[in-house]
Structure 1
Amino acid sequence: MRDILKEIWATTRKNKLRTALTGFAVAWGIFMIIFLLGAGNGLINAQKLSSERFLDNSMIIGSGQTSKAYDGLKEGRNISLNTTDMEITSRSFNKHIDNVGAQADKEGQTVSLENNYFSGSLAGVYPNDIQINKKELLHGRFINDTDIRQQRKSLVISDENARELMPHNTTALVGRYVAVNNIAFRVVGIYKQDKSSMWSYSYMPFTTFSTIYNKGNKVENIVFSFHGLNTEKENEDFETQYRARINNNHRAAPDDESAIWIWNRFTSNMQMNKGISIIQTALWIIGLFTLLSGIVGVSNIMLITVKERTREFGIRKAIGARPLSILRLIIAESIIITTIFGFTGMVLGIASNMYMDATIGHTKVNSGLFEATMFYNPTVGLDICIEAMAVIVLAGTLAGLIPARKAARIRPIEALRAE
């Protein structure tokens, strides 16, 4: 083995440029597949991070406008959801639905404490809002069932708004009374503001909101979590049945998709995952074609090596060298070249991903109103890097096998005649 290594080293030194170009093709192939996958993962992880702000198995139902004439009524009627729709949702679909709630909001409201104040949006919600929209509670509690039943004047505000009211000790704000448009509310909790949202909401019990702002039995949105709907077909069937039932309550055509709108976060995530899968496949295809260029380079260098050393191999066989020794020499050269340069490309690819992660790995776009994560954690698992390395070494071995077999089979007399 030692003699083989010395011979390979001598051949490499003799053909420096050719070996360097071949090695560059191998290293570039490994580097590009790791770099592309890392960059793609950065974009994909940013999308996943955004979708994690909501509960996957949840739906939001909103009011719309009829697009069909039905039951003697013209199209173009505005539909307003109400508490009866909530009861239908809870009673008729309890096989799949867990918790039913509602949302309503009002912009431009002022919350004050002594001389400090802030202006923002108020939202009336049910207790399930904290799970469905995944709010991180920092202090105190969220709206609960007792708040809903007793129409308590309870308020949950964001940490940023809490600092506006009590800059030096926001924790002490929990339990204090603040004025919401001159109505006293007790702050019961503080949540972490999601900077990816344009709006900073203060939350109160939906029943309290409805009474103060004279909403009657109207609701803006119905929200609920669900279970047992695991496929796209099951979700489509559920939405069709649900839409027909709610539309019937408002004398709208059962198949009128404009009367109410349904945001199914489960199917939205399924569609997003399909898009992610397509992106990942495209990145792999591009990377593998780049890797293929390295494999072709190794194959070419082996073919040229065999052609240039034909006379040498003929002399070896003439003085008693076995075909297996020639085969082993060429295969060993192919493996060593692909391994060394492949490892170099892998290290450079990992280093480039680490650099991306350190510099732009948590890139956010700040519009002044909200922040959006555009690039997050652009890295590739070590297992992927090792697999890519194994592929190039195996492919390099196979690429060297064809010319190696040709060299091993050549007859000495034919080799000596070669120029």
Structure 2
Amino acid sequence: MFDLDIWQEIIATIKKNKMRTFLTGFSVAWGIFMLMILLGAGNGLSNGVAENFMRDAVNAMWLWSGRTSVPYQGMKENREIRFTNADYDVISDLEGIDKASGRYFISGNLFSYNNEFGEYTAVTCHPDLKDVESIEITNGRFINPVDINQARKSVVLGKDIYDALFKGKEAIGEYVKINNIPFKVVGICREGGSTRHRNAYLPVTTGQKVFNGANRLHNFALTINAGSIEESKVIEEKVRTAMARKHKFDPEDRSALGSYNKLENYLETMKIFQAIKIFIWIIGTGTLIAGVVGVSNIMLIVVKERTKEIGIRKAIGASPRSVVGLILLESILITTIAGYIGLVLGTGLMEGINFLVEQQFAASAGTNGGNGDIIFRNPTVDLNVAVSATLLLIFSGALAGYIPAKRAARIKPIEALRDE
């Protein structure tokens, strides 16, 4: 394999047929180049979608009440279902529920601080909402159990509210008025998955007392202990059954109790992307095989052209193994070098695209905190995939040269010398 004379002969043959070698190598390089582009693009889309899901807890679930659409146990349809604090206690105690927060919305509220004012949304909640909705605290803290138990007038401001009212000044410990009622600022936050941070968070007990909410809750935000779609559906049905029993409505009535199971949506979406990745591999590998078939055809032509030469070699004592090795080495050399060039160009292009994407992402982070929908992120190819592609190339090169090499090894010297 490391015989210098053999390598010199292979290189001389390649130089003699430069255009043919270039076109053969180009087909292989294009195949591996397209495989890297397709894999990188697939990864970019998958990563972008996954990051969007990560803006809230992946295992999050939301529940909201509505009106019944069917009669149940003697009661008419179109009854309004109203959540209360007692429902929060029931849901929190259910098996499979990790975090839970009731939410009571207060819209159209006037926020003011000194001479600055604006209308924003106040959300009363429990401390677990921070984990469910991936709320990022940039300064201070979030609502805590003491705030809930003592019904403190504490408020966590969204960053947009802070910027509008305080203009960059220190806000922690200051008091803002919500509908002329003073609340102490205990934290500044960014909301997960949002481009606008215009919500303020208050203790649910405080909001219910101050804003005449009694024990009313509008919806629930939960995280569940589930690792599969089946487990998440079981927990969702437990919650639905518990609420149906308490409020006396048909558990199958989706109008009475609406729900969104993010884990189910996430896992199903990731399955789709896994299927897309498999499809990409099939397309890319098919393109690569087309190039390798081209190499094999070219090597068959080479064997045909060198029939007399191969016959002379065998006549003076060359073994079939040496003839096979010569053809195989030439095939492997062309596919490996051309494939490596395609590999480097493909991965290099995706790294360049990744650099531009990250620059754009960094720029957007300065304006909206890096939130908002992400379509494309980190469109690079894993190192293990690149190594696997290289090994596949070497194997393909050997396979492409094997059939022509076997044909060359079967050539009889007397027939080769008569070949014109």
Which TM-score bucket, shorter chain as reference? over 0.9
Q: Is residue 221 of structure 2 the alignment partner of residue 219 of structure 1?
A: no
Matched-pair contact (CA < 8 Å) for 1:243–1:257: no
Q: Is residue 408 of structure 2 the alignment partner of residue 407 of structure 1?
A: yes
- Secondary structure of 2:75's counterpart equals coil
What whole-Å deviation, never above 9, does each CA across 1:201-249 have from its counterpart, x for those lacking one? 111111111122222222111223332x333223222322321221122
Look up the match of 2:392. Answer: 391
Change (3 A) 1:130 1:194: closer
2:61 corresponds, among 59, 62, 72, to 59
Superposed displacement of residue 356, structure 1: 0.7
Change (3 A) 1:80 1:173: same
Q: Distance in 2 between matches of 1:207 and 1:134?
A: 22
User: TM-score scaled to structure 2, two decimals?
Assistant: 0.93
Look up the match of 1:236. Answer: 233
Superposed displacement of residue 325, structure 1: 1.3
What whole-Å deviation, never above 9, does each CA across 1:307-335 have from its counterpart, x for those lacking one? 11111111111122211111111011011
Change (3 A) 1:168 1:215: closer
Q: Is residue 36 of structure 2 the alignment partner of residue 34 of structure 1?
A: yes
Matched-pair contact (CA < 8 Å) for 1:81–1:220: yes
Matched-pair contact (CA < 8 Å) for 2:109–2:122: yes
Superposed displacement of residue 73, structure 1: 2.5
Look up the match of 2:255. Answer: 258
Q: Is residue 343 of structure 2 the alignment partner of residue 342 of structure 1?
A: no
Matched-pair contact (CA < 8 Å) for 1:362–1:373: no
How do 1:186-205 and structure 2 match up within 5 A?
Answer: 186-194=184-192, 196-198=194-196, 200-205=198-203
Look up the match of 1:185. Answer: 183
- Secondary structure of 1:377's counterpart equals coil
What whole-Å deviation, never above 9, does each CA across 1:136-185 have from its counterpart, x for those lacking one? 1111111011111111110101233212222243xx21000111111101
How do 1:75-86 and structure 2 match up within 5 A?
Answer: 75-86=77-88
Superposed displacement of residue 110, structure 1: 2.2
Matched-pair contact (CA < 8 Å) for 2:85–2:217: yes
Matched-pair contact (CA < 8 Å) for 2:56–2:192: no
Q: Distance in 2 between matches of 1:45 and 1:36?
A: 14
- Secondary structure of 1:321's counterpart equals coil
Look up the match of 2:71. Answer: 69
Change (3 A) 1:114 1:258: same
Look up the match of 2:92. Answer: 90
Superposed displacement of residue 363, structure 1: 5.2
Matched-pair contact (CA < 8 Å) for 1:361–1:375: no
Q: Is residue 321 of structure 2 the alignment partner of residue 324 of structure 1?
A: yes
Q: Distance in 1 between matches of 2:197 and 2:139?
A: 20
Matched-pair contact (CA < 8 Å) for 1:105–1:121: yes
What whole-Å deviation, never above 9, does each CA across 1:342-393 have from its counterpart, x for those lacking one? 1111110111111211223565698x99832221111112221121111011
- Secondary structure of 2:139's counterpart equals strand
Look up the match of 1:209. Answer: 207
Change (3 A) 1:360 1:133: same
Matched-pair contact (CA < 8 Å) for 1:363–1:374: no
Q: Distance in 2 between matches of 1:362 and 1:248?
A: 53
Deviates more, 1:326-335 or 1:252-261: 252-261
What whole-Å deviation, never above 9, does each CA across 1:60-95 have from its counterpart, x for those lacking one? 21112323221122333332222222222134x1x3
Look up the match of 2:271. Answer: 274
Matched-pair contact (CA < 8 Å) for 1:240–1:255: no
Matched-pair contact (CA < 8 Å) for 2:134–2:192: no
Structure 1: gaps (5+ residues): none
Deviates more, 1:236-245 or 1:34-43: 236-245
Q: Distance in 2 between matches of 1:156 and 1:265?
A: 26
Matched-pair contact (CA < 8 Å) for 1:102–1:220: yes
Deviates more, 1:356-365 or 1:98-107: 356-365
Q: Distance in 1 between matches of 2:270 and 2:359?
A: 21
Q: Is residue 283 of structure 2 the alignment partner of residue 286 of structure 1?
A: yes
Superposed displacement of residue 198, structure 1: 5.0
Change (3 A) 1:372 1:231: closer
Letter of the 1:28 partner, please give it.
W
Matched-pair contact (CA < 8 Å) for 1:362–1:376: no
Q: Is residue 135 of structure 2 the alignment partner of residue 119 of structure 1?
A: no
Look up the match of 2:45. Answer: 43
- Secondary structure of 2:376's counterpart equals strand
User: TM-score scaled to structure 1, two decimals?
Assistant: 0.93
Look up the match of 1:3. Answer: 5
Structure 2: gaps (5+ residues): none
Superposed displacement of residue 192, structure 1: 2.8
Q: Distance in 2 between matches of 1:393 and 1:203?
A: 60
Q: Is residue 311 of structure 2 the alignment partner of residue 310 of structure 1?
A: no
Q: Distance in 1 between matches of 2:97 and 2:194?
A: 28
The percent of aligned pairs where both chains have the same amino acid is 40
